[in-house]
Chains A and B, each alone.
Chain A
Amino acid sequence: MSPEDELRDRLFGLADRVGPPSSDGRGLAGRVAREAADRRRTSRGVLVALGCVVLLGVAVPQLIDGDAPATAPASGAASDLPEAAGRVPGGAPADYFTGPTRGSLAGDDDFLDGVTALPWAAEPPVRAADGTILYYLPDPPVEARRVVFAGDVPGGRWALVVGGTPRGAAEAAGVPPEVVPTDTLAAAWFTGPPGATADQMTLANEPSTISTDWPAALTDPRNGVLVVVAAPGDAVEVSQRPMIDAEGQTSREWRPVETDDGIAVTRVSPFPRPYDGSTSYRVLRGGRLEARDMPWSIFYEELVDQPLPIEYPRGRPGGLGDQAARFAAANVLGELGLSTAQVTVRAPWVGALPNGGDGQAAVVTITLPSGAVVVTSQWLMPQQPDGSYTGGFCGQSVLPAGPPAERRVHALACEVVDGTTGAPMSTDLVVVAPPEVALVRTYDGDRVFLSEHSTRDGVLVVPMPLGTDTVEAVTAGGVTLGRVDLLGNAVDFGD
């Protein structure tokens, strides 16, 4: 037997060790669809407020706990309403959303009844490009809802309401049954002013599905209030933002906060921003980490258009290029919880892509307080007739402190997508280097030379040579500035 045949045989044996999947295929498909819809709603909420809708070319991987219990098949329950109010489908006890209402207003039955009956904002079904309905989350009927938390918080009153979807919801809405999640809970947060009556409470977020074995939390970026709903007896810790040190390493500082019956009401330092994309919390039980997540955030559209000073060393671009640069920078600042006063933002290149039509791409560097540099890139097409924008994310990376951002070489692969469907059409290579760089060489993953290109003002923009993995920048005098990897598409700042 040849070594290759032996290797083949042993790979099969090793693969056998993984065992069966922890959930059935339809359960996994449903989870994927819900996750995609949740992210789409989150992105849409932010981007619409920015005046643009960007089709992100590559999803940022979200690490999901592999030990999460399987989702029960939708056909498992006999009753007309799902086992939403207090039990996990399948009969396992749920820790986070069972039991009596918690919070300082838990004893106010009139308030609870009123909040339970408040209208949710039904979203239209999520459709594919050809009109096929992929996902639909109808409002839970009032009788299937319950208030998990209701209480006074600094500056107001908040309530968390959860509910299940009845089995007949799909039929009633005229949509295919498989697109309606009937095996999970949906959740909505309501907020109001201090002393608010139930009818003064308003929906604070777009309702979304939740896992019954995962805590829920909401934060208000305007005043920094954060409420975490964990299980009774749980400990809660909060971290305001990821910190990136001079080495480019990401870490967080965690602060224990007081809990009452599993509810943490605390604050983080507020500063003007449209949403909180940086705060994180974690739940510990018996000293063991049970969950870590970012809270949902109230969104303030009026704070989107704050000044965001960007230096353009190669000249100020037009409106669309400026918008692409602003969008890229704002995303990073939002995730890192930094204000513009704490960073230096530069866009060393903004321009068109060979296959990108009238669109504009921007490479943006953000020098952090530690000296580390975040490089990010965004491609944006001109505004559509309906007022929206389409584009793509072209990668992101964190570089350790060292030479100024403008003295470094940045390389990225930018995927041009179809403006209507979001389908990838072509990929271009962009290299931005100091102006004295005259040549760029490309190499594949095996460090094999692929191609050589002349630059203009230190910038190269060409259709991507197939297989490019790294690039080398060389000055007119023949001095190489070393090889750099292409920016990645999955940087998540540790969250």
Chain B
Amino acid sequence: MATGGEGTDVASGEDGGPGGGTLSFPEFVTRQQQPLLRLAFLLAGDRGHAEDLVQTALMKTYRHWDRVVRRGEPSAYVRRALVTTHTSWRRRAWHREQPTGRLPETAAPEPADRLDAGEELRRALLALPPRMRATIVLRYYEDLSELQTARLMGCSESTVNTQAARGVARLRNVLGDGAVTDSHGRPR
């Protein structure tokens, strides 16, 4: 499970002991901030939006903290908030301006042949529909089962299965069969 080696289990919600009753919100944030930022980065595709996403998800979690902790599933709750916030933002991005507070830096696009494997994958992920992208990230990065992913995304297992299969197929198409490289961009 890709939660930063903290022993956190999204499915069982083992956040600092059974029930998580003694876990404070600051402790939770301290433990989860890095893995959440990594997850948000894969969903959002850039660091700025990823940090916004994490903060918004934590806000939603904070507002129901007592109940969330009583149920012993803060990790799952905050991930659900993160995913639903992300898909909600993406849906609106087509017809709404997205103020960022500061003007974004712009850079000339890199030629395709200069892109490393990580950048290729990032762009390929961004080309997926938001819910398909979330399915891919939850299944293959967070390593959730179809059932866990379905519960987190509020859809059926069959939908997860279909989305994941299509997502993998589309990523293979975008990146090219046989063009799979390792995490450092080296061809396998």
Contacts and interface: CB of A to CB of B under 8 A. Distances in A.
Interface of A: 1, 3-4, 6-22, 24-26, 28-33, 35-36, 58-59, 61-67, 128-130, 132, 134, 178, 247-251, 288-292, 398, 421-424, 444-446, 448, 466-467, 469, 485, 488-492, 494-495
B183 A3 contact: no
Given A14-B183, A28-B58, A398-B95, 9 more contacts: A1-B188, A3-B180, A13-B117, A14-B118, A61-B89, A291-B102, A292-B101, A491-B96, A494-B99
A489 B99 CA distance: 18
A65 B168 contact: no
Contact of B37 (A18, A61, A424): A18
12 contacts: A4-B140, A7-B171, A8-B140, A14-B42, A21-B51, A26-B30, A28-B54, A58-B60, A66-B48, A128-B65, A445-B131, A445-B163
Which secondary structure characterizes the binding site on chain B? helix
A66 B41 CA distance: 13
Contacts of A29: 25-26, 28-30, 58
Given A128-B66, A248-B95, A467-B155, A12 B59 contact: no
Contacts of A28: 29, 33, 54-55, 58
Contacts of B29: 25-26, 28-29, 32
B59 A19 contact: no
Contacts of A292: 99, 101
Nearest to B162: A446
B102 A67 contact: yes
B152 interface: no
Given A18-B37, A25-B26, A250 B97 contact: yes
Contacts of B155: 444-446, 466-467, 469
A256 to B, nearest CB: 17
B95 A11 contact: no
B137 interface: yes
B34 A21 contact: yes
Contact of A26 (B26, B55, B66): B26
A22 B141 CA distance: 22
A242 to B, nearest CB: 9
Contacts of A63: 52, 98-101
B56 A25 contact: no
Interface string B17-43: 000000011111111111001110110
Which of A10, A17, A33, A249 is the most central at the interface, judged by chain B CB atoms within 10 Å of its CB? Answer: A10
Nearest to A128: B66
Interface of B: 2, 24-34, 37-39, 41-42, 47-52, 54-56, 58-60, 62-67, 85, 88-89, 91-92, 95-103, 117-118, 121-122, 125, 131, 136-137, 140-141, 143, 153-156, 158-159, 162-163, 168, 171-172, 180-184, 188
Contacts of B162: 446, 448
Contacts of B25: 29, 32-33
A55 B49 CA distance: 26
A66 B66 contact: no
B39 to A, nearest CB: 7
B136 A7 contact: yes
Question: What 7 pairs between A and B have smallest CB-CB spacing?
Answer: A13-B183, A25-B30, A66-B48, A65-B101, A467-B155, A18-B41, A29-B26
Contacts of A65: 48, 100-102
A195 to B, nearest CB: 38
A59 B63 contact: yes
A489 B64 contact: no
A467 B154 contact: yes
Nearest to B117: A10
Contacts of A64: 51-52, 55, 101
A64 B57 CA distance: 13
A480 B41 CA distance: 39
A288 B103 contact: yes
Contacts of A492: 96
B188 to A, nearest CB: 7
Contact of A10 (B67, B85, B180): B180
Contacts of A490: 85, 88-89, 92
A448 B92 contact: no
B66 A132 contact: yes
Nearest to B137: A11
A23 to B, nearest CB: 8
B102 A290 contact: yes
A129 B85 CA distance: 25
Contact of B41 (A15, A448, A491): A15
Contacts of B117: 10, 13
B118 A10 contact: yes
A99 to B, nearest CB: 23
A453 B54 CA distance: 38
A250 B92 CA distance: 12
Contact of A422 (B39, B64, B98, B136): B64
A17 B141 CA distance: 14
A65 to B, nearest CB: 4
A466 B47 CA distance: 32
Nearest to B160: A446
Contacts of A467: 154-156, 159
Nearest to B103: A289
A27 B117 CA distance: 34
A15 B26 contact: no
Nearest to A9: B183
A15 B39 contact: yes
B59 A14 contact: no
A70 to B, nearest CB: 11
B63 A15 contact: no
A130 to B, nearest CB: 5
B64 A36 contact: no
A265 to B, nearest CB: 24
A61 B52 CA distance: 8
A37 B118 CA distance: 39
